[in-house]
């Protein structure tokens, strides 16, 4: 069975496992106050050129989103997200569980636009109508849920809009490596640190056992954040595991290599799908593809390949999702393309 | 530097690391629906003789406590805990963050008593005074925060009291293995499953990289629990890591062996401390010891040993905490005793 | 200045004030356990023919919505509402503040449809996809935010759909009297009690100083509700004020008379507006009208009349809202029509 | 039946009812933006000599406590209260329902002390231990739950301690009028405004139908507060009712007259009780008395008098609570004393 189900189907990059094995019996203090975490934070501040940023390591994405948003907002303040945003759809109301509404705007290829942000803000009385929530934080993800990527211009427009309106900009980077290594991308790590108030570099979907590295650049969001992590159940006792893994993938830009590998395999698959004449839900330059297949063919493919159904398109056809990762072997793509040709 | 700081200062048991390395590139579905999790759950149901229990794997203790308690209670219902209880003191208000009060009773050597539960319940109008919260769940930990252990009789009394009063009994087993392997303990795994409505078997403090295995035996607490895990940010993408680790330590009762090792080293240390005439805050039969040392001596010991200050006892003396674990080498205990003799 | 701003611009019906004056120095117990509350509850159970219902008196609508929904749902469950629903737009995230998401469906003339409920439920995996909230309660208001009214058939369809899918049906009756007395309405009070699991009879917008009478017919929603009221800050010390007011308007169906008066004045105004050729946002049979006026005219009208701007329609025109009530004098309508004719 | 059950057993002062009747058919805008509220706010700012304060009108005490505390705190911050504090015991976990822990200290005659505040703060790592909540707000009530009153010196000590430690000081003044008119009291209205960051002047227990006037003097607590009120369900549609009532009792210090009347009747009753040799739980100079009576006598008294049982004292005796108010007639006190003499 070849897996195209997601980018967290396997364990970790060999270098990561090697580091874990090597340090297994070293003793450290807990809760992320150990030397590995300090070292990883330093590498991240350097790589993203944000020397004054606070860096925290969290286990997963929903936890990171929930903790950041709940810590940033006062009780009546809300987040703005695309209607397809992960926090709006696929986190079982984790944001609302902390007391905050998610205000949505229609996505454009999975992306939120500066105009949509302005419209949502205006529709809530510019944050001043006391009968409505006050939008205060913009949540975007890069790459998006649909595998699309923000251009540098789009990110700049969103960032400037947020600053003009007094909104925080928070970027979910669960799939940041594929975004930054996608063909044509011009957004650099340092751009991110400059344009966002907080963002995270995803590890779970990019070759770690688990972990997201949160970077907070806005001073007003820094205070009390370790209290916030602990309160939301996110303070890992053996925090060193997070620091060590990130420290490992920051060396030699291993994180970007892993993302680039995922993208390359996706690009091969995408090219093959297009050659074969398949329609796609959206044109994605990263490691998630959404081709539309005939239902009978889907059933046949599932004998050999594991992947997700995305959405029904007609009575006879369904959009599916193929995801590649650092662990996807070229021969798996070859096998899938061969099966699609049959 | 020898570490007696806690039982989560190192990575994982060699057998656990071996399993992680061996399966690293196997592909599985995510979120704990993989074969490793199924296998581990089955082993746990068998070991604790609760064939109908639901088993869930969570990353850490605060997360487990928060998720269980928030899922069990209606908004105005409350938990009862000893004033020393972890949920009352050391979780940054994680329970309150889900909307629930923790009603406390004075501890007796770190333990809650059936009488104290009755008193708290009565003081809240037996759950019927609408101006007060309605206590509905009793939280205990075994071993306790002070390293003490509930006798079988004590657990039975608490369990019967809970059933009589209509309260859930939830046992935090972050240090369950040391409790069950402590000298004189007569509580069996199957006793736990019979006496509690939910409990967990701790992995983080007993040789796993991380992880707590939650067992829910009461039917009314089972529904929707995976929704609850996801909403609180606790659903690990690579859930297999949890399943695999627990599956490994369930074989040959490796979890009990690890707990017994920690207890043995603590017993050696305890005996040495008593021989040397040190007072202890409490008499602990498990892997946490609380001797009272002179402040100058503490400063000298800290040159070579890492441990926590627990509480000041006088102007000149402080209670400290020495913790042993599966990873504590006998020579570390020898070294500490030698230093204490100096 | 004539007020068409809302239906809570004045104090209370003369009969209500008379009752308050008459009983002012009588002594009663507090918190709604007094004889006036008991009497009012009994009259409501009789009028709505639901002898087994629980009746609670709350001060306002947002409070009632928040208390009912938070009490009904488990943490990961959600409400379904029209996108125009009061809980979605105009309660400053009061529902989310209790931890619950509001799932929305596009409104049809301010109304939610049975089909829309099915679609939302299906889109959330029929409540079984643990990565999404589980819809569990349907919120509708009658009359709606746009002054429209559910037909008996529409209410029956919604109710049957809810029962089929295992959803609670909760009806916000802040403007129930205008709905039930609107031309062509065939929904009776007893229909409501039979079709809904909980609903309230609004007093604030129908001639009381304040107050909403909540009726809970579903047994599983009854337990602990007084705890819920107190916890959400809604338990009025002098609860008697609520009971007395409702007891007063239940006599001789004074509540329906008040609603009918509001509707009659609105109907006169609506007929006049149509004669004058004004377009309306929606055709409303109750006490809220939404004509589209030219901006200059709006400015002139505001010299003499108080009313709300609803939404801009074009660069030159704006939809406004005219609201009538029990307190609207026929001469006020005459004056407004005269001014519109100018 | 004479009522000594509480100070909210009747309607409102005659002057308040007169004002409500007089203005009943005046039309105003809603939600507290009307001229009556503006006028009342101005009178309060003048009376308490805090020209820059924000004044908000809320319906009840639990609502006021919950709204203020939830608006003031970040998620991991906590309130400090006496263990007898209303928010700790008698609000059904309303504070916890907004996500915040109430840290308690043992009361001294119902009062919190500056030393106790320091001790709680220190025990939480001075707000810097991320494994514990960070205390950030001190809640006191004056008069207290036991009818006792803070001296000016005690209030100053608490205020200075709060400022030194960076804590907000919030004073629940549900029974402020009795406190300020109690024999020997030297705290002036302007003292309160100077010493507290927020406080409220209670109306519900001092002759209004309902209402608490919240005064916020600390600038950092002002922003967004109307959003907070709405979100917690506390924004009264006919907010004018609150403004008008407070405007009425601010004239000629009617609020202080009402409090003084309650105290005088209590003082007569207290003197009589002492003459008769009854023990009291605490020596209260305000309108709540806690004598200890024999159980048989209690049963006999309850034939003619309504009052609350406070706490059992022995097998044969119980502490009860007698409360007087603006509405207590001297002859009721005479009757009660006569009955006690029997």
pLDDT tens by residue, B163-191: 999 999 999 999 999 999 999 999 999 99
Query: In chain D, which residue's Cα lies nearest the Cα of A236?
Result: D131
Q: For residue A220, what pLDDT is reported?
A: 97
Q: Which residue has the tokens 């992995």?
A: B203
| Domain topology for D2-7+255-341 | 3.90.1150
Report yes or no: D8 at the C interface, CB cutoff 8 Å: yes
Q: How much is the average pLDDT of C238-265?
A: 98
- Show the DSSP H helices in chain A as ranges: 14-22, 35-47, 61-72, 86-89, 94-97, 114-123, 152-165, 176-180, 189-195, 225-231, 240-250, 254-275, 295-301, 330-341
Under a CB-based contact definition with an 8 Å cutoff, are residues B207 and B12 in contact? yes
- Who's near B163: CB < 8 A, 6+ residues apart? none
What single-letter DSSP state applies at residue B34?
A: S
Give the per-residue pLDDT at C342.
85
Q: Report yes or no: C70 at the B interface, CB cutoff 8 Å.
A: yes
What is the per-residue pLDDT for D136? 98
Closest to B110 measured CA to CA, from B282, B241, B226, B234: B282
As a whole number of angstroms, the distance between CA D104 and CA D140 comes to: 11
Q: Is C23 on the interface with D (CB under 8 A)?
A: yes
Chains that touch A (3 or more CB pairs under 8 A): B, C, D
All residues of chain B having their beta carbon less than 8 Å from the beta carbon of residue C99 are 98-99
Give which of A204, A202, A178 is closest to A259, Cα–Cα: A178
DSSP label at D132?
S
Beta bridge partners of A103: A80
Q: What per-residue confidence (pLDDT) applies to A49?
A: 98
CB C130 to CB B71 under 8 A? no
**Nearest-CB residue to B238 (from A8, A231, A306):** A8
**B98: nearest CA partner in chain C:** C99
What confidence category does residue D342 fall into, taking pLDDT thresholds of 50, 70 and 90? confident
Q: Is the Cβ pair A76, D224 closer than 8 Å?
A: yes
Q: CB–CB of C327/C16 below 8 Å?
A: no
Residue B39 has pLDDT above 90, yes or no: yes
Tens of pLDDT, residue by residue over C6-22, are: 999 999 999 999 999 99
The dihedrals phi and psi of D320, each to the nearest 5 degrees, come to -120, 170
Closest CA to C225 of C71, C66, C110, C79: C71
Contacts of B226 in chain C (CB under 8 A): 130
> What mean pLDDT is predicted for residues A18-45?
98
Q: Is B232 on the interface with D (CB under 8 A)?
A: no
C129 to chain A: closest CA residue: A92
* Percentage of the residues of chain B whose pLDDT score is greater than 70: 100
B92, B102, B131: residue with CB nearest D92: B131
pTM recorded for the entire structure: 0.97
Cis geometry, peptide bond prior to residue A143 (ω within 30 degrees of 0): yes
Sequence-separated (6 or more) residues with CB below 8 Å from residue D16: D207, D208, D209, D245, D248, D249
CB-CB under 8 Å, B231 with A97: yes
Asked if the model's pLDDT at residue A248 lies above 90, the reply is yes
Tokens of B100: 């629930």
Q: Is the peptide bond before B143 cis (omega within 30 degrees of 0)?
A: yes
**Nearest residue, CB atoms, D9 vs list C28, C66, C93:** C28
> Which residues does chain C have within 8 Å of residue D21's beta carbon, measured at their own beta carbons?
17, 21
Closest CA to D177 of D169, D166, D185: D185
Task: Give buried/exposed letters for A145-184 (b at 16+ CB in 10 A, else e).
Answer: bbbbbbeeebbbbbbebbeebebbbbbbbbbbbbbbbbee
Residue-level pLDDT at D130: 98
Compute the CA torsion angle D28, D34, D39, D42 (nearest 10 deg). 180
Interface chains of chain B (3 or more CB pairs under 8 Å): A, C, D
Question: Once rounded to an integer, what is the mean pLDDT over residues A74-100?
Answer: 97
The pLDDT assigned to B342 comes to 85
3-state secondary structure of B280: strand
Contacts made by residues C31-34, CB under 8 angstroms, sequence distance 24+: C31/B130, C31/C235, C31/C236, C31/C237, C31/C239, C32/C56, C32/C57, C32/C235, C32/C236, C32/C239, C32/C240, C32/C242, C32/C243, C33/C239, C34/C239, C34/C240, C34/C243
Architecture of domain B14-252: 3-Layer(aba) Sandwich (3.40)
Question: In this complex, which of B21, B59, B231 lies closest to A59 when CB atoms are compared?
Answer: B59
Q: Tokens for B152, please give them.
A: 């079988």
CB contact under 8 A, D224 and A98: no
In chain B, which residues have their Cβ closer than 8 Å to the Cβ of C226? 130
| pLDDT above 90: residue C215 | yes
**Residue contact B11–A24, C-beta within 8 A:** yes
Average pLDDT over residues A4-29: 98
Query: Per the structure block, which two tokens stand in for B250?
Result: 């369930």
Residue span(s) of chain C under CATH 3.40.640.10 come to: 14-252
Q: Measured between CB atoms, does B1 come within 8 Å of chain A?
A: yes
For every residue of B54-111, DSSP letters joined together read: EEEEES-HHHHHHHHHHHH--TTEEEEEETT-HHHHSSTTHHHHTT--EEEE--BTTB
**pLDDT tens digits for B234-268?**
999 999 999 999 999 999 999 999 999 999 999 99
| Dist CA C55 CA C63 (whole Å) | 15
For the segment A311-320, what is each residue's pLDDT rounded down to a tens digit? 999 999 999 9
Contact A99 C100 (CB under 8 A): no
pLDDT, tens only, A210-223: 999 999 999 999 99
Least Cα distance to C233 among D212, D188, A30 occurs for D212
Chain A residues with CB-CB distance to C84 below 8 A: none
Residue A342 is predicted with a pLDDT of 85
Distance in angstroms (rounded) separating the CA atoms of residues B97 and D42: 37
Q: Are A226 and A235 in contact (CB under 8 A)?
A: yes
pLDDT higher than threshold 90 for residue B216: yes
Mean pLDDT of all residues belonging to chain D:
98
Average pLDDT, chain A: 98
Instruction: Locate CATH 3.90.1150.10 in chain A.
Output: 2-7+255-341
Query: Which H helix or E strand runs over C7?
Result: none
pLDDT for D143-199, tens place per residue? Answer: 999 999 999 999 999 999 999 999 999 999 999 999 999 999 999 999 999 999 999
* Pick from A70, A71, A75: CB nearest D70: A75
How far is residue B91 from each of residues A124, B63, D131, measured CA to CA in Å? Answer: 36, 9, 5
Element (H, E) at B116: helix B114-123
Q: How far is A273 from chain B (nearest CA, A)?
A: 24
Nearest to B75 among C70, C131, C235 (CB): C70
Q: Nearest C-alpha of chain D: how many angstroms from B308? A: 14
The answer to whether C320 touches C309, Cβ cutoff 8 Å, is yes
Q: Do A227 and D70 touch (CB under 8 A)?
A: no
Backbone angle region of C273, left / alpha / beta, with phi > 0 → left and psi within -120 to 50 → alpha: alpha
Q: Is A99 left (phi over 0), alpha (psi -120 to 50) or beta?
A: left
B145 touching chain D per CB within 8 A: no
CB C204 to CB D60 under 8 A?
A: no
Q: How far is B28 from chain A (nearest CA, A)?
A: 5
Give burial (CB, 10 Å; 0-12/13-18/19+) of A100: buried
Classify burial at D306, counting beta carbons within 10 Å of its beta carbon; exposed 0-12, middle 13-18, buried 19 or more. Answer: middle
Rg (CA), chain C: 20
Work out the minimum CA distance from A156 to partner chain B, whole angstroms: 30
Q: Say yes or no: A99 contacts chain C, CB-CB below 8 A.
A: yes
pLDDT in tens, C266-311: 999 999 999 999 999 999 999 999 999 999 999 999 999 999 999 9
Looking up tokens 């309303």, which residue turns up?
D94
Express each pLDDT in A45-65 by its tens digit: 999 999 999 999 999 999 999
- Backbone φ and ψ for D294, nearest 5 degrees, come out as -80, 140
Closest CA to C210 of D240, A182, B313: D240
Angle at Cα A237 formed by Cα D123 and Cα B272, nearest 5°? 75
């Amino acid at each position: 069975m070849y897996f195209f189900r997601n980018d967290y189907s396997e364990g970790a990059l060999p270098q990561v496992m090697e580091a874990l094995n090597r340090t297994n019996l070293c003793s450290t203090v807990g809760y992320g106050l150990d030397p590995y975490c300090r070292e990883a934070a330093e590498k991240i501040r350097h790589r993203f050129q944000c020397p004054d940023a606070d860096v925290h390591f969290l286990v997963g994405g929903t936890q990171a989103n929930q903790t950041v948003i709940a810590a940033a907002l006062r009780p009546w303040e809300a987040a703005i997200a695309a209607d397809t945003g992960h926090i709006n759809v696929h986190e079982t109301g984790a944001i609302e569980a902390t007391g905050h509404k998610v205000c949505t705007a229609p996505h454009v290829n999975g992306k939120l636009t500066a105009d949509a942000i302005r419209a949502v803000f205006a529709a809530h009385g510019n944050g001043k109508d006391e009968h409505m929530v006050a939008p205060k934080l913009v949540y975007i993800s890069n790459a998006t849920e649909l595998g699309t990527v923000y251009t540098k211009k789009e990110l700049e427009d969103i960032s400037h809009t947020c600053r003009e309106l007094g909104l925080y900009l928070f970027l979910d980077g669960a799939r940041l490596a594929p975004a930054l290594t996608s063909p044509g991308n011009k957004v650099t790590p340092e751009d991110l640190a400059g344009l966002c108030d907080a963002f995270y570099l995803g590890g779970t979907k990019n070759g770690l056992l688990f972990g997201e590295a949160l970077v907070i650049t806005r001073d007003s969001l820094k205070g009390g954040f370790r209290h916030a992590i602990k309160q939301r159940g996110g303070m890992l006792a053996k925090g060193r595991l997070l620091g060590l893994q990130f420290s490992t993938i920051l060396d030699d830009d291993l994180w970007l290599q892993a993302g680039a590998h995922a993208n390359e395999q996706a690009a091969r698959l995408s090219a093959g799908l297009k050659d074969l004449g398949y329609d796609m839900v959206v044109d994605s330059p990263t490691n998630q593809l959404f081709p539309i297949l005939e239902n009978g063919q889907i059933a046949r493919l599932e004998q050999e390949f594991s992947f997700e159904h995305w959405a029904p398109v007609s009575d006879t056809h369904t959009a599916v999702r193929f995801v590649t990762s650092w662990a996807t072997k070229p021969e798996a793509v070859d096998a899938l393309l061969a099966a699609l040709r049959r």
